Structure 1
Amino acid sequence: MTESSDMRQRGTRTRRHISFRRRLVRLTFYVLLLVTGCAAAGFLYFADTVASLQPPANPKADAIVVLTGGFQRIDQAVDLLKTGAGKRLLISGVHPSTTRGQIRRNTQSSADLFKCCVDIGYDAIDTIGNANETASWIRDNGYRSILVVTNNYHMPRSLLELRRANQGIDFIAYPVVNSDLKSTNWLRNPMVLKTILSEYLKLTIATLRDALGAHTASGLRNEKN
């Protein structure tokens, strides 16, 4: 083989290698573009779904569960209990330092109501824990339908976890709306945008986890370790 022939072959291999790298870069770019587009479309769909959530006009279920995260949620759940929307209320995910008396006073409720019809759950440390804590409560009481009270942006993931842990139970969404996402430009509000984006990412991870059949921690304080 002559020197010129060897140089031509090396040049051909180099050009092929450069061409392959260029194709790989283009393919990577298109894949990233597609993934980014799908993620953006999914986020906008999620935000629109959350913004459209409204409480049912005449809610009715066997019982009510509220997932902690602010007293506005608890106030709404207690009001539903008072009006007979459910026979009993579980407040799930209460911090161990918060007493029953503090919750009762903050909701301006009677001692009789809390004594007869309100259960306090101290074990849940996250949304998965809320679902598992609620599952035990449902089994103990034999309920078939549950009114779920939580913020609108938190509702899709809450229902996902609750239904995963409580198959065959009818969960009815009762979203608490802190801000009107339909009529306000929330994209210009950094705090609201951060909250919705964070919740969308958590919902995406939870959906992928279920699709892959991945194991998760119980989310319960007494099983944390």
Structure 2
Amino acid sequence: MEEFKVPKNPIQARLEAQRKANQSTSPSTKNAVNRAPSSQSGFHNIRVIPPVSTLSSQERSRGHLAPPNSNPITRPGGLPGRIPPGMAPSSSNASFPSINSAQRAGGSSSQGARKKVGLEPGCSPLDWARLNSSGQNLRGIFPNEFPLKVSKELLKNHKSQNDCWTVLKGKVYNITPYVKFHPGGIEEIMKCAGRDGTSLFNKYHSWVNFERMLENCFVGFYIG
């Protein structure tokens, strides 16, 4: 008569198969497993790099930091953008544009610079402007003679302080009433008496509008 076998529980059968498999593992495999390093032991071989020092070799040898600057620049009142009084630029060197620079309008030069002389009372530029617009006959000729055609010989006849003509850019002017108003003095303006004074005028007064200033002293045109 056959023996009746009760079928095994599937869970028990799986556990029994796993136990038999563990028993059949070779000793070399077990030793290899035992020799495997743990996850924690691997950190003992990591080399820690020290931080790089920013000190110089001399400072490291002294063993301390360099002392702070003993003379820091301070601003008066703690206001930003202020310069200490001792560091402010000298006013004598702070001229801009520099003297005689081309950036200065009408910069002085050795040729254009002339000294003014003291004028008599009533001979200021305002006094001349008042006389020039007064309606007086400053030409010194009759109205029906205007404008004259002045030759070189005729021009030479008018070279005294009381009868002074000159030529400025082809136009003849009677500068007799203006002589005492000249800022450079009578002696200087008389250098143009009875002759063409254009070159001297351009040398010293090129910026002056003589046509406006002497409009009522205009005599005529120079024909040479």
After TM superposition, the score normalised by the length of structure 2 is: 0.21
Q: Which has the higher helix share?
A: 1
Task: Give the TM-score taking structure 1 as reference length.
Answer: 0.21
Greater RCO structure (CA 8 Å; 6+ sep): 1
- Bigger radius of gyration: 2
